[in-house]
Amino acid sequence: MNMNLDMYLGHAPKDFVADYYYKIVDFSKDYEKITKKKMIEEIKEFYSNSEIIISICTIKELEILKEMINGKYEFVPNHYFYLCSLADKLLIYLSPIITIMDDFKKVITNALKKVDWNKKQEEDKIDALAIGYIKVMGSIYDKVLYHFLSQMLEISEEKIMKYLNNSELFKYHVGLCQKYMPSLGKWVNEYYYRDYQDYLDELDEQRKEYAKSAGKMIDLNDYINIFFNKVNVNNPKVKKMFTELSKNHNFPLILDQINLTVLLNEDYDIFLESMKILLEDDYTEENLKIMKEAMDEMPSGALNGLTHNEWEKANDEEIELHKKNPNEHQANAHLNKKECDLFYKLYMALIEYTNNTYHINENIKKIYHAKNIDPQILINIIDYLWENKEEIISDFISKNPYQFNNTELKLINEFKRGIRKNLIITKYERNYTLIYDTKKDGIYRIKGLNCNIDEIMDPDELPMFIKTTLLPFKDHMVFDGIITHTPIKFGLDFDKMVYEKIRKEKYLKL
């Protein structure tokens, strides 16, 4: 039986064709700006290059295509996923007879003559590892992916980036978007697994709720296994599930549903109850038990790569660690009223001077002695101040625009030792708040201003990733009262490291 794209897609709805078009074609057009007919034409044009055929297929898929071209292909069950993949790429047609699309027989024949099979095998390793890793995580920042692959494959990050940008197989499975990263204060590139595109917001919410700071890096071959088999059959319990369910005609759909449930860390018991229709005669207590045990052994993107079993163990250890190192209720962890009033007098004068001199926010006329000013509107001014602290503070002292006395000017001059950066609130003590500096790998003990910091930052939320300013004031180290908070989870290893530093009582100074 002959089949071509016009026959297969010509009478299909535009949405159906678009699902193929956007996965296959590079530099695709907006949905409203292209017709269904033009989508089909662009798919044909995209595949007219034999190098594209080589790049978008795995080595096993190319081998299957070669057997088909030579008229020697015979179906075997373990080819099922490869055949589905080739059909999804519109290179073959599955029913009623497995056949290559007429549109592409010539270009596939030419491509097979050009394949460097050894080179393709090495490229498959990169693609399968990258795609398998992203499939587990759901989404990942580009630089994190490059670093991970570089460490696993001992290839430079630059070469990894260049290769992935040109790999049609990688781009077929993985999309790229921009996402705002509050901890960095900027937009970053994020890779995501295309089949999970509609679930990325839910994944982010689940990560905020459950993820530990550092997930577990599983074996390189396990990620590759996940790419080729949808799940890691190197794991005995997962392999048992795979084997038991593989004869079910809904098997691929069942695996997709299992993977999505694990990715989002949804309730496994509720999910299993919902599988009666798909499992049909395989819906037995024994099979449900096998599936539950397997799912507990599968890494989850919502858990930052940990399995459910690993997450529960880490969570129990974390709870026990916090019991041994509880936060104290703060009693004297802030300046007295006289000190606080003086700090605000000097600091707000310096901020107002910075704004008036460098015209950062001309909508703000008064900061010094202003009442009920929203501290968030001062952030751009404060950022500029601390980026240019030496020059601004020296000019302020030289001009003394607010006629401060020598003692007050000396206190302002000490501000030059201050820092503005990303930090982590780690623990509350009776008289201090402990803040960890990742770059200096040490802890500051600071005071609040007009109240204890545990009154404004919930102790149950610690450790807490923040951006703020630390500066010396009289005999104390204080923060400037202006904090931006990013919801990031920290894991057990971080807590252990911090508590060990606290135990040694070696603290940083400005």
The residues, ordered by sequence, that sit 6+ positions from 322 with a Cβ below 8 Å of its Cβ are 495
| pLDDT at residue 217 in the model | 58
Phi, psi of 11 (to 5 degrees): -100, 5
Which distant-in-sequence residues (6+ apart) come within 8 Å of 276 by Cβ?
283
Q: Measured between alpha carbons, how far is 36 from 31 in angstroms, rounded to an integer? A: 9
SS3 434: strand
H or E element in which residue 395 lies = helix 389-399
Tokens 């992203």 belong to residue? 134
In the chain, the N- to C-terminal Cα span, in Å, equals 78
pTM tops 0.75, yes or no: no
d(CA 115, CA 433): 62
CB 8 within 8 A of CB 93: yes
Which one, of 222, 217, 244, lies nearest residue 233 by Cα? 222
pLDDT, position 8? 94
φ, ψ for residue 429, nearest 5 deg = -110, 170
Distance separating alpha carbons of residues 281 and 41, to the nearest angstrom: 43
CA distances from 447 to 7, 426, 461 (A): 74, 14, 19
Residue 137 has what pLDDT? 95
Are 454 and 329 in contact, with CB atoms under 8 Å apart? yes
The predicted structure's pLDDT at residue 492: 74
**Running along the chain, 510 residues long, what does each successive block of 10 average in pLDDT?**
90 95 92 95 96 96 95 87 94 90 96 96 95 95 90 90 96 93 76 96 90 66 92 95 91 94 95 92 94 96 92 84 85 95 96 95 90 87 95 97 96 97 92 93 94 90 90 95 79 81 86
Nearest Cα residue to 145 out of 154, 133, 163: 133
The pLDDT value given to residue 460: 81
> Shortest CA distance to 363 belongs to which of 449, 374, 213?
374
